[in-house]
Amino acid sequence: MARLAAGLLVAAIAVLLVGETAGLEKVGKNLKFLIAIFRHGYRATAYTYKNDPHGESVWPSGFSSLTPRGVQQHYKLGSYLRQRYDGYINPKRAVKEIYVRATNYDRTIQSAMANMAGWFPPAATDVWANTALGKLWRPFPVRLADDPTLLGETDCERIDDKAYRGRPDLQKIFDTIEFEHKEFLDHVRRQSGEPNMRVQKGLEEVSDVLRCQKYNGVKLPEWVTDEVYDKIQYLDNLRFHVWVGGNGDVQRARVNAGKLLRHFITSFRNKINNVTKVMKEYKAYAYASHDNSIGGLLSCLDLYDYDLRNPVAHIPLYANMLLFELYNDNTVRILHKNDTTEDDFTSKDPIVLKHPECDVYCPLDKLDQLTREYQPDSDDVWKGECENHSRQRFRVKRPIHFPPPPLKTKPFETPKGPYQQG
């Protein structure tokens, strides 16, 4: 039986390696450098709430751990990247041509390792043992980010809830949301056992628990109907949108991802000028990060505005990925792979993004100019803004106009009967 199970595992992975790729874009001929940044895969919930009937018991590896489905996501995503950039990165020299970094969390490190396993499966000469695993996987170096704050791994006063106290415009937004959805939020507060829960702080914990449980097939409490679930996620999306500055809030977008965007643009310039021997060899950087990195970058690119009704205006889903492709003519193309909840997402190309004031293939100098206000001039400047020491004032480009709730979410009425318990 064990031998049969092992055989089935090998066959299943082999299918993933082959895949159906007809019609997918392949990139490499005119590519000068690639930067890929992705969110970790499906994980266990990071929190619990008072009346959560499951708690940590449904997560064998504990809170925030990467789930088997999350591992599979990134293995598939790596397989897609292998197909897309076939011929660009030499598999035999991949450890010299791509530099992989992750934040200091198990789920991001494991996601990066699973991604590389799909991107660079072993050739015959790489097989390290005459075993099923040795024929399908080779170790690939994944390093911690040199600067943890680069990928948002920091406590930052200007992006936590305290910062809203110095921004009456943002506090007014949250007060309005609380007022307009008071009956619904009171219901969630009662059922969750979290009387102090607010949209700006607290709802995220309930939302995260329900989202992770749903994605992993855990039975949700009876009070969480489809309507309730969708509206909780809708309100949490609004919270995230404000948090990362999705409406062109330069202050919040800079703190979330301005430093990272500056690093990307600097890396492209270093590649163009081959500033070091190592940089001359490298063909790609890959980063395993979190939702705030993806959302923050989209905000810095003016591509995360709810007003646009675009398909990316929500909390970036697990295994979301942004690709920044630098071409030989020094133009940059940006793509977003946000369909990673589908079983067959390896059969679809990413969405091609376009900065509102530039072409799809945007000259690097112009992209730098268009996003300059989002880029702090130095790490010290960023640190001062993060710690709220800076007196610099930043503009908000567009007023926030939130989209209506999902179509199946009707004006909320407190359910009768057993749903009012708790």
Beta-bridge partner residues of 321: 38, 337
* 352 found inside a domain: yes
CATH number at residue 185: 3.40.50.1240
* 29 found inside a domain: no
Percent of the chain having pLDDT more than 70? 86
Whether 161 has a pLDDT exceeding 80, the answer reads no
Q: Which residues of 169-205 are buried (b: 16+ CB within 10 A; e: fewer)?
A: ebeebbeebeeebeebbebbbbbbebeebbbbebbbb
Cβ neighbour number for residue 411 with a 10 Å cutoff: 8
Whether 409 has a pLDDT exceeding 70, the answer reads no
What average pLDDT does the segment 278-300 reach?
93
Domain that holds residue 76: 35-422
Count of structural domains, the chain: 1
> Alpha helices of 225-276 — where are they, by DSSP H?
226-243, 250-253, 259-273
Give the DSSP letter of residue 102. E
What average pLDDT does the segment 330-357 reach?
87
Please choose, from the candidates 373, 146, 364, 145, the residue with its C-alpha nearest in 3D space to the C-alpha of residue 265: 364
pLDDT recorded at residue 156 = 79
Whether 1 has a pLDDT exceeding 50, the answer reads no
pLDDT recorded at residue 153 = 76
Q: Which residues of 216-226 are buried (b: 16+ CB within 10 A; e: fewer)?
A: bebebbebbee
pLDDT recorded at residue 16 = 41
* 19 found inside a domain: no
Beta-bridge partner residues of 22: none
* 30 found inside a domain: no
Beta-bridge partner residues of 56: none
Whether 3 has a pLDDT exceeding 80, the answer reads no
pLDDT recorded at residue 10 = 38
Q: Considering only 37-51, 69-83, 388-402, 406-420, which range has the smallest mean pLDDT? A: 406-420
Longest dimension (CA), the chain: 71
pLDDT recorded at residue 163 = 60
Q: Which tens digits make up the pLDDT trace of 234-263? A: 999 989 988 899 888 999 999 999 999 999
Q: Which tens digits make up the pLDDT trace of 44-101? A: 999 899 999 999 999 999 999 999 999 999 999 999 999 999 999 999 999 999 999 9
Cβ neighbour number for residue 24 with a 10 Å cutoff: 14
* 157 found inside a domain: yes
pLDDT recorded at residue 210 = 97
pTM of the model: 0.88
* 12 found inside a domain: no
| 240 vs 232: CA distance, rounded Å | 12
Q: Do 9 and 132 meet the contact criterion of CB atoms below 8 Å apart?
A: yes
Whether 312 has a pLDDT exceeding 60, the answer reads no
* 46 found inside a domain: yes
Whether 419 has a pLDDT exceeding 60, the answer reads no
> Alpha helices of 244-388 — where are they, by DSSP H?
250-253, 259-273, 277-281, 291-300, 364-370, 379-386
* 339 found inside a domain: yes
